[in-house]
Amino acid sequence: MSTRTEFPSSRDINRAWHVIDADNAVLGRVASRAAMLLMGKHKPTYVPSMDTGDHVVIINAGKVKLTGGKEGQKLYRRHSGYPGGLIETGARRMRETRPERMLELAISGMLPKTKLGKQMYRKLNVYAGEHHPHQAQKPVALAV
């Protein structure tokens, strides 16, 4: 008695569009929900070696909450590649200059660090305000 495991082909993958409103929501909760949708873990056809995930649009990224003392203590680090080129930006400054980057960094940290993860990350769209140019795709609103 042999049973066959169904393995989806690229034709079988249906990609939906989701909108997440980050207004007054906690950063980590929004990021983990978005990462799950991008990977496709919410679908019964999930396969770890394939990108079966959906498109995610996040609005109001500038109004996302940080819990505890993270607003004053959290640091975002990057390096220029030159000696002494470490650049540190605080969470408060990051919110003022590039609020969508806070969510992008949190979500990219939750995705696989491979070519597949980069492919999943391309389906993410983050906007600081409440308007987005993806109305034609008829995205479904999700509560976090």
pLDDT at position 1 is 64
Rg (CA), the chain: 17
* Identity of the residue numbered 33: R
3 state SS of 109: coil
pLDDT at position 4 is 84
Q: Give pTM, 2 decimals.
A: 0.92
The torsion region of residue 78 among left (phi > 0), alpha (psi -120 to 50) and beta comes to beta
- Domain 17-142 CATH superfamily: Ribosomal protein L13 (3.90.1180.10)
DSSP-derived letter for residue 103 is H
54-91 confidence digits (pLDDT tens): 999 999 999 999 999 999 999 999 999 999 999 999 99
